[in-house]
């Protein structure tokens, strides 16, 4: 299971979390309305993690500008971006397309994006565009019959590790950790992150043996 830590406030926080937690993906939010909007300062290249830029209805030009400026290897599109925009970015970076899920969500909506991105991400539907600290009903994932791998997001916290490990959906590729692991918006709690990540990776080692 891949670990994505999202909503890192600045390059110092990016470096601190990368070195302490060794996640697979590190997410930087480029959305001015977010309290976790990334403050570009000194550039930092993660040791092993993919560097993800998170955008909400940005233009293609704005996204490409940040890809170049921050040396992003992945973009996560959290708005109403079209399949065509996703596909146009595919030649530059890998693409994660986000869908906001509630109890009435129809997973047929994702079909148009199947060939337009590398991953889906299923987040809780709120007006906040993520970072709400709330779950959607995870049993809703049983309705997703697609083969495109997805990240699970939305209110995942340290106490959810056993429930996450109990999810057996064949397309579940990873989890997205954000607001429930924070001391302040954009500033993560390393002790809580390491607790969660160590449990996931220990479980994986045992079950691969």
- Ordered by start, the domain boundaries in the chain are 2-208
Instruction: Show the DSSP H helices in the chain as ranges.
Output: 11-21, 60-70, 83-89, 161-165, 190-208
Residue whose tokens read 């940005």: 58
Tell me the three state secondary structure of residue 102: coil
Residues 6+ apart with CB under 8 A from 112: 83
CB 101 within 8 A of CB 122: yes
Of residues 130 and 45, which shows the higher confidence score? 45
Of residues 208 and 203, which shows the higher confidence score? 203
pLDDT at 18: 96
Residue whose tokens read 């906040």: 128
Please state the pTM of the whole predicted model: 0.94
CB 13 within 8 A of CB 38: no
Residues 6+ apart with CB under 8 A from 125: 100, 101, 102, 105, 136
- Section 150-172 average pLDDT: 95
- Tokens of residue 192, six digits: 């809580």
pLDDT at 129: 63
Tens of pLDDT, residues 91-112: 899 999 999 999 999 999 999 9
Tens of pLDDT, residues 56-90: 999 999 999 999 999 999 999 999 999 999 999 98
Cα separation, 37 vs 9, in Å, equals 6
Cα 12 to chain center, whole Å? 20
Q: How many CB atoms lie within 10 A of CB 66?
A: 19
pLDDT at 209: 58
- Return the CATH number of the domain spanning residue range 2-208: 3.20.20.70
Residues 6+ apart with CB under 8 A from 198: none
- Tokens of residue 189, six digits: 């709690």
Predicted confidence band at 29 (pLDDT cuts at 50, 70, 90)?
Answer: very high
């Amino acid at each position: 299971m891949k670990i994505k830590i999202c909503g890192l406030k600045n390059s110092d926080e990016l470096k601190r979390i990368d070195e302490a937690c060794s996640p697979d993906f590190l997410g930087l939010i480029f959305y001015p309305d977010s309290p976790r909007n990334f403050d570009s300062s000194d550039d930092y290249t993660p040791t092993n993690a993919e560097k993800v830029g998170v955008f909400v209805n940005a233009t293609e030009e704005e996204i490409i500008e940040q890809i170049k400026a921050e040396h992003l290897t992945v973009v996560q599109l959290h708005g109403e971006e079209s399949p065509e925009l996703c596909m146009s970015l595919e030649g530059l970076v890998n693409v994660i397309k986000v869908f906001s899920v509630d109890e009435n969500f129809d997973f047929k909506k994702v079909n148009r994006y199947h060939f337009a991105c590398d991953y889906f991400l299923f987040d809780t539907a709120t007006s906040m565009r993520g970072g709400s600290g709330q779950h959607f009903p995870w049993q809703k994932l049983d309705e997703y019959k697609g083969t495109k791998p997805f990240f699970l997001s939305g209110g995942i916290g340290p106490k959810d590790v056993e429930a996450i490990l109990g999810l057996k959906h064949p397309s579940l590729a990873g989890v997205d950790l954000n607001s429930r692991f924070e001391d302040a918006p954009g500033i993560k709690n390393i002790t809580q992150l390491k607790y969660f990540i160590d449990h996931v990776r220990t479980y994986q080692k045992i079950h691969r043996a």
